[in-house]
Structure 1
Amino acid sequence: MVYTGKPSKGCGMCKSRRIKCDEKRPICSQCQKSGRACPGYPDEFDLMFRDENKALARKARKGSGRSEKSQESRSVSPGTPASLRASPIAESSRSQAPPTSEPSQSLTLTPPFTLPSDLSTFQDLLWQFDQSIPPTIVMAPEFEAIPFFFRNFITLPQEAESMRGYLELLIPLYNRAQPSSALHLATSAVALATCGNYPGRQHLLRDAATTYGKAIRKLNEDLKHPHLAKSDESVLATLLFSLYETIMSTDDTITAWGNHVDGAVALTKLRGMDQFDDPMSHDVFRAVRTMMITSCVQRSKPIDSFPGTTGWLASPLSEENAANRLTLICIDLPNIRSRANTLTKTAYHASLEQEALSVLELAQLVDSNLQQWYLTLPPEWHYHTIGIVNEPVEDPATAESWMGEQHVYHDVPLASIVNDYRVCRIFCMRVIMACVAWLAVNPKHNLTADYEKAVYVIQQMVDEISACIPFHMNYDLQPIAKKLGQEKNAAEAYGGYSLVWPLYVAANAETVPQAQRDWLSGRLMMIGTRFGLTSAQVLVLARRHVLTCGPMFP
């Protein structure tokens, strides 16, 4: 593959008419004015990863034709002395010039030229300089994958109140880091892995693995230096490693993902209280905190303490944006789940009743705080109902919508955070149900109402998750993505991947009707099939909750 200039992103009609296309979506203005049918725009991924050898060959043939005419004119000019005219030998050598060599990795002139001793051969040399085409200029895969990755998965619109992950911080830190840094290498690995999951691009996964290995080695070198080990770039590179492991999703990556998150937590603790003096470092701290809580919730692992008087809170709740307030409200949820799991694995004993009641009360407190958080959200965070589906689902594997209301949101990042709220409430309700079931052995505890309320809330949260699935998966329902010119497949992939975690949790809620759970599982598998993932990769993606802690696209 070669690079022959910036490709046109205009519609096919404007290209054929050789006029400038304004690239307005969904239909360009030129076609609209002339009453022509606009055929649409080329896929951005195919534009970036296109084979331009044919284009280069056409240019070569054109240039060759013009030069031959010019050379012939010069050779027969009446004013040209005979001694300067090309000899038959020179003409013969030109006509028998060897074809251009195969593409190579460097820009050189082939065959190698040396200064000749006679004038006729020198003229032939000049002709070859004029006619020879350099070997194909091959762009490294990361130079094409990274812009695609940044445009479609990093530079997405984010409200100030919705920023909490680490990918929002990637652009400023990437720009100030050295090209040979671990952060640049980690970004390249993630970008190549993301693009490599596109159908027909699997060859990029090999480059991704090679770059990932280089990034790991570079970070290990940096960790030997105290200053580099504590830098924002090193922490962010570690978080990107966890994203890479999630995207690649092999059997070995499940443990590796958790290890990278734990590594980022260790580096953050090493940075101590000094990191709060710099706004960027403080934002990196918040991103690590979000990843840590997600990891601990999934593994039912208690959260490690952070050095300092305020611990992981770091700053008053009132100073945090809405997304980070949600994170802090759930900061005790991993410990609550861990205690509940330990309790329910133990047979009932009167001496443990107080522990069960304590866990139950804590779960109810967290759920109450979650409800209050949702009530204080600005209006643009809430969904809008665009229709109601009344027909029951016949085939859970293929149905695009579930029965009931259909919801849309301002954009996918906001919808993802609201879905996280629902997932956290589901976890709280499951803890409550587990504690009530454990205490039910003692008839003096009349907690039936608490159990029934938990079942009702879980169903409500699952219904709301189901209602937003078409929005995430349909480009036509995402006006912000259209306005920014985000590539259709990338926008739908981003929406799909942000659904994986809530879909996984909802599909595993035991109290939800089996038909709805089958449909949710079908949507989960559809995301994998549509975007080139295996069933195992989808499950790993779900358990790692990539996007809301910071995407995972593909």
Structure 2
Amino acid sequence: MVYGGKPSTGCHLCRKRKIKVGQIYKLHLCHNPCYIYLIPLDGKFPCLAHSTLSASQCDEEHPGCRNCTIYGQPCPGYRSDGIFRNETHKIQELVKKTRSSLPSGKPPSSHDLSAGSGRQKSPLSIYRISDSTWEEKAICYFFDQYTICDTTGGVGHLGFVPSLYAACRDQSSSDPASSSLRLAVDATALMALSNRVKAPEIVAQARNRFGLALRRFQEALDLPVEAVKDETFATLVILSMFEDISGDRLGLTSSHTAGFEALTKLRGESQLGHARGLDMFKFAYVHMQVEFLLLRGRTTIDPDWIVERLDSADPLQSLMILASKTTQLLTEPWSTSTSLGSAGVTKLASWIDSCRALDAELVRWSQSLPDMWLPLETRSYTGEDVLTYREMIIATIWAHFRAVRILVYLTMVDLFRTLSSVVNSPGIHREASQYEIDGLRLSLDLISETCRSVPFYFGEIDLLGNPIPPSAEGTTRVRAFWVYSMLWPLWYIVSCGLATPEQTQMIREVLARTGSELGIKLAIMLAGYDGQGAMPSPPEIYSFEQSVGGLSAM
């Protein structure tokens, strides 16, 4: 007989309804251990809170607990303190199984016994922790790694998702918008955790829920009242993340960009009138702008509508305004039917002047930022000169800013070269040559700044350049969302053709490594893609030989 561990001390009904007492999960997946409390609400799936447990847990009062009173049922009472169970048969079977796998006559050692349990066909038992399910662990991991509340810089991303998800799980209605969001979050969380801990067995669960989420999402789009709900737009946000985490992109273009455009126009300006709507819009707008700018797409959203409704005093929204202007300006020369030369001298000169004005606005943006938004030059513990930032969100915004400036420069170089080829003027030739020299120097400086920021981007150093020790599993300390946010500006640096071989190799290596560690397949795919030809297939990142200690702390 063995002692079965400390049992739940809640009443029989609370235990049946899976309302636990003081259930805490400890995550060693970010810079510091993160304690997340799961608060079951009336027997439904637990929501998240970063505070003390609420009265939803069993309060263990006598003669009956408060939860049973609220639930409308008599409290059945509590079980005795001592709980033992007979494990003799299980131990006998384990020893018998281990002996059968050993050479004849060799006695089993303690190492053999522990190794034998790890050779099961399914590794899920290795990851399984008592009192928690795969769904619970996945939701904990996803919310911790992919949702960011407001930071010191006043900016967060997807911070609304945990509360919105909890509300959808708690409400009794099963409308398409709410159920599609629940399923989308469950699917993406399961896929993210599966990739992170290399457990392919739960991929089938993730894809099944993804399919159900798509079906309910389509039902929501077919109903005018449901289509404009925050839950519907949030579902599209989460589905786009599933596509990138799972590596399901068929090319550089996301399959959800058209949906973002359609829903943004359908929801209108009302979505910018509250924090949740603005947060979702910012995520979607950045998603769209990356595709329009770096992949030279074309938007159907009126840029003036965006510019008029964003706050130019906010650094992030101000940069969004400039990105919108950039899209509006560059779409015309990019969409020229034959060649830039066919546009004519007047049009070429007009485009060049507009690009210069836009670049001047970008410079003013960088010069008007508050001090806390400025990069910090410091010396790393390795002796290298590096750039650090007060917040990771500020670092990601600077990465996008530099990519946009380089893009404007490259477009202007094309315009100058075309103008000098169609106009036989020494003055224009000298101006074009001088701009190309100055612009190249500027772009190389911007690329250098990006590369000098890489150690901070990926959690290798802190604000002062000191090393950040890896986690207990030897993986990076940076949260997955920050790596996810850096993918496109870093890929553009690699694919624009201006980075040195050393810079290119460094970025490719860090994208591949962190993409593998954090389970973001798009990162691995972009690390090996230069923009030419077909997009590489999603990598196989699962390995049963890898350590499973990454989940043991959860």
Q: Which TM-score band applies after superposition, normalised by the shorter structure?
A: 0.5 to 0.7
2:309 corresponds to 1:315: yes
Whole-Å separation in 2 of the counterparts to 1:453 and 1:476: 32
Q: Could you say which residue in structure 1 is the equivalent of 2:418? A: 438
For the 8 Å contact 2:372–2:390, the answer to whether it is kept is yes
- Supply the distance in 2 between the matched residues of 1:190 and 1:543 (Cα, whole angstroms): 27
Matches within 5 A, 1:451-490: 451-474=436-459, 476-477=461-462, 489=476
Q: Equivalent of 1:360, from 352, 372, 375?
A: 352
Structure 2 gap segments, 5+ residues each: 9-22, 34-80, 94-128, 171-177, 532-554
Q: Among residues 209, 212, 230, which one is paired with 2:228 in the alignment?
A: 230
Structure 2 distance, partners of 1:280, 1:414, is 20
Select which of 164, 167, 188 maps to 1:176.
167
Q: What one-letter code is carried by the residue in structure 2 that aligns with 1:269?
A: K
* CA–CA distance in structure 2, aligned partners of residues 298 and 235 of structure 1: 24
Which stretch shows the higher mean deviation, 427-436 or 267-276? 267-276
Partner of 2:372: 380
Structure 1: segments with no counterpart, 5+ residues: 12-23, 27-59, 69-94, 101-135, 390-400, 545-554
Q: Which residue of 1 aligns with 2:329?
A: 336
Instruction: State the match for 1:523 in structure 2.
Output: 510
Amino acid at match of 1:458: S
Residues 538, 527 of structure 1: CA spacing in aligned structure 2 closer, same or farther, 3 A cutoff? farther
Q: Distance in 2 between matches of 1:517 and 1:325?
A: 30
Structure 2 distance, partners of 1:142, 1:501, is 30
User: What's the counterpart of residue 142 of structure 1?
Assistant: 135
CA distance in 2: counterparts of 1:273 and 1:157, whole angstroms: 23
Deviations 1:251-289 (A, max 9, x none): 53755x2x3222122122122344455454344344433
Q: Is the 8 A contact 2:196 2:517 kept in 1?
A: no
Name the residue aligned to 1:209. 207
1:423, 1:502 within 8 Å by CA — same for their partners in 2? yes
| Superposition pairs of residues 240-389 of structure 1, within 5 angstroms | 240-252=238-250, 257=254, 259-306=255-302, 311-315=305-309, 317-318=311-312, 321-343=314-336, 346=339, 348-349=341-342, 352-387=344-379
Cα RMSD (Å): 4.2
- Residue 291 of structure 1 deviates from its aligned partner by 2.7
In structure 2, distance between residues paired with 1:283 and 1:536: 24
Tell me the distance in 1 between the aligned counterparts of 2:404 and 2:257.
20
C-alpha contact (below 8 Å) 2:348/2:415 kept by paired residues: yes
Residues 96/61 of structure 1: CA separation in 2 closer, same or farther (3 Å cut): farther
Q: Distance in 2 between matches of 1:412 and 1:541?
A: 25
Task: Spell out, residue by residue over 1:398-422, the C-alpha distance to the aligned partner (whole angstroms, 9 max, x if none).
Answer: xxx8x96212111211101111111
Instruction: Work out which of the residue numbers 503, 507, 512 in structure 1 matches 2:499.
Output: 512
Shift of 1:140: 4.2
Distance 1:240 1:512 in 2: 33
Letter in 2 for 1:293: Q
The letter of the residue matching 2:437 is E
Deviation at 1:340, TM superposition (A): 3.2
Partner-residue secondary structure (3-state), 1:406: strand
Task: Report if aligned partners of 2:230, 2:277 keep a CA contact under 8 Å in 1.
Answer: yes
Q: What is the distance in 2 between the residues matched to 1:8 and 1:291?
A: 32
**C-alpha distance in 2, partners of 1:508/1:227?**
43
Q: Does 1:419 align with 2:399?
A: yes
TM-score, normalised with respect to structure 2: 0.64
Q: State the AA in 2 paired with 1:341.
A: W
Would the aligned equivalents of 2:145 and 2:479 in 1 still touch at CA under 8 Å? Answer: no
2:84 is equivalent to residue 63 of structure 1? yes
**Alpha carbons 1:472, 1:492 under 8 Å: kept:** no
2:548 equivalent in structure 1: none
Q: Which has the larger radius of gyration?
A: 1
Q: Aligned partners of 2:316 and 2:26: how far apart in 1?
A: 36
| TM-fit CA distance, 1:438 | 1.5
What is the percentage of aligned positions where both structures have the same residue?
A: 19
Cα drift, residue 432 of structure 1: 0.9
Higher helix share: 1
Which residue pairs with 2:55 in the alignment? none
Conserved in 1, the CA contact under 8 Å of 2:187 and 2:209? yes
Q: What letter matches 2:140 in structure 1? A: P
TM-score (norm 1): 0.64
Structure 1 residues 209 and 456, CA gap change in structure 2 (3 angstroms): same
Encode CA deviations 1:272-314: one digit per residue, 9 max, x unaligned.
344455454344344433332222223322321349xx51224
Residue of structure 1 in register with 2:192 after alignment: 194
* 1:153 aligns to 2:146 (yes or no): yes
- Alpha-carbon distance between aligned partners in 2 of 1:533 and 1:234, rounded to the nearest angstrom: 24
Instruction: Give runs of aligned pairs for residues 35-54 of structure 1, distance below 5 A.
Output: none
Counterpart amino acid of residue 440 in structure 1: S
> Residues 4 and 492 from structure 1, CA distance in 2 versus in 1: closer, same or farther, beyond 3 angstroms?
farther
Q: Secondary structure at the match of 2:200?
A: coil
Give the distance between the partners of 2:318 and 2:442, measured in 1 at CA: 21
The partner residue of 2:390 within 410, 420, 432 is 410
Change (3 A) 1:232 1:540: farther
Residues 227 and 4 of structure 1, relative CA distance in 2, 3 Å threshold: farther
Q: Which amino acid aligns with 2:440?
A: V
Q: Which amino acid aligns with 2:188?
A: V
1:104 — aligned with what? none
* 347 and 252 in structure 1: CA distance in 2 versus 1, 3 angstrom threshold: closer
Contact 2:511/2:523, CA 8 A, preserved across alignment: no
The alignment partner of 1:182 has SS state of helix
Query: 2: distance between equivalents of 1:212 and 1:538?
Result: 21
Question: Residues 169, 508 of structure 1: CA spacing in aligned structure 2 closer, same or farther, 3 A cutoff?
Answer: same
User: Contact (CA 8 Å) 1:249, 1:540: kept in 2 or not?
Assistant: no
Q: Distance in 2 between matches of 1:159 and 1:542?
A: 35
Deviation of the 1:522 alpha carbon: 3.2
CA distance, structure 2, for counterparts of residue 9 and residue 479 of structure 1: 27
For the residue of structure 2 that corresponds to 1:511, the secondary structure is: coil
Cα contact 2:188–2:206 (8 A) shared by 1: yes
Identify if the C-alpha distance between structure 1 residues 168 and 225 changes in structure 2 by more than 3 Å, giving closer, same or farther.
same
Query: Could you say if the C-alpha distance between residues 479 and 541 of structure 1 is closer, same or farther in structure 2, counting changes exceeding 3 Å?
Result: farther
Q: 2:385 is paired with a residue of what secondary structure?
A: strand
Aligned position for 2:525: 538
Mapped to 2, the partners of 1:354 and 1:222 lie a distance apart of: 49
Displacement, 1:542? Answer: 8.9
Task: Write the letter of the residue equivalent to 1:176.
Answer: A
Q: Give a deviation string over 1:18-52, Cα, whole Å, max 9, x none.
A: xxxxxx979xxxxxxxxxxxxxxxxxxxxxxxxxx
